[in-house]
Amino acid sequence: MCSDSQKAPDPGRAPRSEMISDYRRRTDDATLQSMVRATIDGIGIEVPFGTTILDAARMIGVTIPTLCQHDNLCIAGVCRICVVEVDGERTLHASCSYPITRSIDIRTHTQKIRQARRHILELMLSEHVGECYACCRNGHCELQKLASDYGIDSYRFGHRTEERYGRDDSSPSLVRDMDKCILCRRCVRACIDLQEVGVYNVFDRGNDTRVTTFMDRPMWEVICINCGQCINHCPTGALHSKDMSDDIWDAIDDPTKHVVIQTAPAPRASIGECFGLEAGTPVTFQLNTAIRHCGFDRVFDTNFAADLTIMEEGAELLQRLYRTLAKGEEAPLPLFTSCSPGWVKYLEYFYPEMIPHLSSAKSPQQMFGAVIKTWYAEQNGIDPFDIVTVSLMPCTAKKFECNRPEFNDSGYKDVDYVLTTREMAQMIMEVGVNLPDMPESDYDDPFGTATGSGVVFGATGGVMESAIRTVYELVTGESVESIFDYLRIEPVRGFEGIRYAELEIPTTTVVPELLKRVVPDFDWLAGTTLKVAVAHGTANAKRVLESIRSGGEFADCHFIEFMACVGGCLGGGGQPIPTSRAILEARARGIYQEDERSAVRKSFENPAVVQLYRDFLTEGPLGDRSHELLHTGYTVRTKLMV
């Protein structure tokens, strides 16, 4: 298997320190490659030509406060909190946007600078409606922290108490409270730079400047994919997820309701951050115990449904390949994954003509909800009307997904509520539990048995890795470990924005009983080179889709994994804030460690999945009942009667 991670540039930006160290390699101009000497607060330093004052200061451990600056985003220089003095220049300068191109002497914390920063903060607070104790970001707000750092304990310029814009809670995923906006433009840049969606823009000037949507329309009426990256990059409470925990508490307190929760893999490597643990610390089994303390009746593992997704999506891939390679028919290839609801919505909005390429398989969340309210309800003698299904997800778009009107194939709303990682942490805190102190406990049966393949769904490339583990072994009969040590499929791992890999199918074996109604044999696959790709962040998705549209290199792929957020689920809009490249890498390590500790690491070997097909989905993947409960109407149903 070979890989090529240079297919497209990576907008999932590396940390600024790495960007600086790479600076000289990114230019051929001898002048720009030269080093420039600067003095910062009396400390001498040599930096590459063009390095900003802010980055130079960080190199020597000098802290300069910022608000509009974010390592993931382009330079804005609008908040002016990071102002510094440059010897010989009359005015203060924003250090985040001042390039060092000559030898200069810089001061970062003089009386003049401190006073300027205080005045800027006091002016921001004068327009900041609301009290901190009643804000969802209380204790985690960058404006609040800076006000504390600079000793601001009164409103020098007054404090507006009446709302000017009001709250927009029309979206199922997020709430906009522009009376708390400080005009840093981080949401604007995140939506444009990282996602290339462009929901937000800046309108008017002076005191009337505001960040708003197209024609000031509510969020439900604009082209928003609900990914939540604007929330993750907002420094205040101007943007936050739509929290349904009060409704969940009501269900838990209702003795007539049976409340179950499924937990996705990504939050297990991140929720510990809300309790002071390092990023990537796995707390899977402590989390189970903490959730039970909240009063949930059953705690299930979404990884079970991830394994189920691989079986259905893998069968769909084989079916499309069979129609194309063996029968000479036209089937929409490459096949696109459908696990990320933000990505699905992006495709629907911007590339609707490519919807036939989208897998008809529902996401693991929605598959699980449908199984809970059918097979699980039947097995336990519970009226589905009385079951409340909750999902713990890293993703704000999952809140939108569970409310899509077509996701009621069980006869009821398949998933009732979604909790983000941050919201689940808050519920745990409400019951007086410190997550790291909890004893470990396992998931509840019958959905407590999952595989490492389900776990790696949480990382970008994980869906592809899981699919390869299952499809390769079922088709060739050879152990995947024979070509990938410890089942680490490195070519699809990592944080490059777009990754490409090829997998040789040297020989084939007999079709297993479970797939005999999907394809009659695998002979037509022998000698084939399976071409796959992975893209995370919709800006990268756009590059891949444009390549396919123009007949470029990705048009020859057979299977492509798309995730709406940079870093995949690990960087989802519901994850703990902040999320940086280093934090994403730490969370990924936690995910892969849990995978390697799993007793079973291939989806088709999951005993709970085998039981479900034996007892309930008796026709196997892509059977009538599977289509009814586990798939959407995106693609034309084609059944091979063999």
pTM above 0.75, yes or no: yes
Answer yes or no: is pLDDT of 7 > 70.
no
Sheet of 387-393, strands arranged across: 298-301, 258-263, 387-393, 417-420
Specify the higher pLDDT residue, 124 or 1.
124
92-109 mean pLDDT: 96
Geometric angle at alpha carbon 401, from 219 and 617, rounded to 5°: 170
CATH H-level, domain 305-363+449-630: superfamily: Fe-only Hydrogenase (Larger Subunit); Chain L, domain 3 (3.40.950.10)
Nearest by Cα to 247 from 257, 237, 233 = 257
Residue 33 is predicted with a pLDDT of 62
CATH architecture of 127-241: 2-Layer Sandwich (3.30)
Tokens at 593, concatenated = 């460690």
Q: How many residues does the chain have?
A: 642
Predicted confidence (pLDDT) per residue in 210-266, tens digit: 999 999 999 999 999 999 999 999 999 999 999 999 999 999 999 999 999 999 999
Residue 131, CA atoms < 13 Å, CB-side half-sphere: 4
**Strand 83-86, strand 35-40: pairing:** unpaired
Nearest by Cα to 442 from 308, 300, 306, 303 = 300
User: Buried (b) or exposed (e) across 81-94, using 16+ Cβ within 10 A?
Assistant: bbbbbbeeeeebbb
Residue type at 642 in one-letter notation: V
Sheet of 529-536, strands arranged across: 2-4, 498-504, 529-536, 559-563, 335-336
CA distance linking residue 396 with residue 227, whole number of Å: 6
Q: Residue 446: pLDDT band by 50, 70, 90 thresholds?
A: confident
CA distance linking residue 156 with residue 119, whole number of Å: 9
DSSP secondary-structure letter at 404?
-
Torsion sign across C-alpha atoms 621, 627, 631, 632? positive
CA distance linking residue 243 with residue 574, whole number of Å: 11
Long-range pairs of 217-222 with CB within 8 A, sequence gap ≥ 24: 218/168, 218/170, 218/171, 219/168, 219/170, 219/171, 219/174, 219/176, 220/170, 220/171, 220/172, 221/170
Answer yes or no: is pLDDT of 5 > 80.
no
Nearest by Cα to 142 from 221, 79, 214 = 79
Please report the beta strands in 571-613, taking only residues with DSSP state E, as ranges in sequence order: none
CA distance linking residue 237 with residue 225, whole number of Å: 20
User: Buried (b) or exposed (e) across 395-412, using 16+ Cβ within 10 A?
Assistant: bbbbbbbbebeebebbeb
CA distance linking residue 313 with residue 307, whole number of Å: 10
Count H helices and E strands in the chain, helices first.
21, 19
DSSP secondary-structure letter at 272?
G
Beta-bridged to residue 47, according to DSSP, are: 36
Rounded-to-10 torsion of CA 125, 131, 137, 141: 30
Answer yes or no: is pLDDT of 9 > 80.
no
Do the beta carbons of residue 173 and residue 225 sit within 8 Å? Answer: no
Answer yes or no: is pLDDT of 387 > 80.
yes
Q: Residue 17: pLDDT band by 50, 70, 90 thresholds?
A: very low
For the ranges 90-94, 137-141, 158-162, 268-272, the lowest mean pLDDT is seen at: 158-162
338-349 mean pLDDT: 97
Q: Residue 447: pLDDT band by 50, 70, 90 thresholds?
A: confident
User: Buried (b) or exposed (e) across 594-615, using 16+ Cβ within 10 A?
Assistant: bbeebebbbbbbbebbeebbee
Residue 25 is predicted with a pLDDT of 46
DSSP secondary-structure letter at 269?
T
Q: Where are the domains of the chain?
A: 127-241, 305-363+449-630
CA distance linking residue 282 with residue 591, whole number of Å: 8
Mean pLDDT (the chain) is 91
Predicted confidence (pLDDT) per residue in 133-190, tens digit: 889 999 999 999 999 999 998 888 888 888 889 899 999 999 999 999 999 999 999 9
Predicted confidence (pLDDT) per residue in 23-68, tens digit: 444 444 444 468 999 999 999 999 999 999 999 999 999 999 999 9
Query: Where in the sequence numbering do the catalytic residues fall?
Result: 313, 316, 339, 359, 398, 401, 406, 569
Answer yes or no: is pLDDT of 639 > 80.
no
Residue whose entry in the numeric block shows the structure tokens 């060092």: 100
Beta-bridged to residue 84, according to DSSP, are: 93
CA distance linking residue 54 with residue 52, whole number of Å: 5
Residue whose entry in the numeric block shows the structure tokens 């382009």: 74
Would you call 182 helix, strand, or coil by DSSP? coil
403-432 mean pLDDT: 96
CA distance linking residue 137 with residue 134, whole number of Å: 9
Do the beta carbons of residue 394 and residue 421 sit within 8 Å? Answer: yes
Q: Residue 583: pLDDT band by 50, 70, 90 thresholds?
A: very high
Phi, psi dihedral angles at 256 (to 5 degrees): -85, -5
316-322 mean pLDDT: 96
Phi, psi dihedral angles at 266 (to 5 degrees): -60, -40
581-602 mean pLDDT: 91
Q: Distance between alpha carbon 443 and the CA centroid of its chain, in Å?
A: 24
Nearest by Cα to 456 from 465, 448, 447 = 465
Would you call 472 helix, strand, or coil by DSSP? helix
Answer yes or no: is pLDDT of 575 > 50.
yes
Tokens at 367, concatenated = 């598959």
Beta-bridged to residue 563, according to DSSP, are: 536
Tokens at 596, concatenated = 């390697």
Predicted confidence (pLDDT) per residue in 475-527, tens digit: 999 989 889 988 899 999 999 999 999 999 999 999 999 999 999 999 999 99
Answer yes or no: is pLDDT of 3 > 90.
no
Do the beta carbons of residue 301 and residue 454 sit within 8 Å? Answer: yes
CA distance linking residue 146 with residue 128, whole number of Å: 14
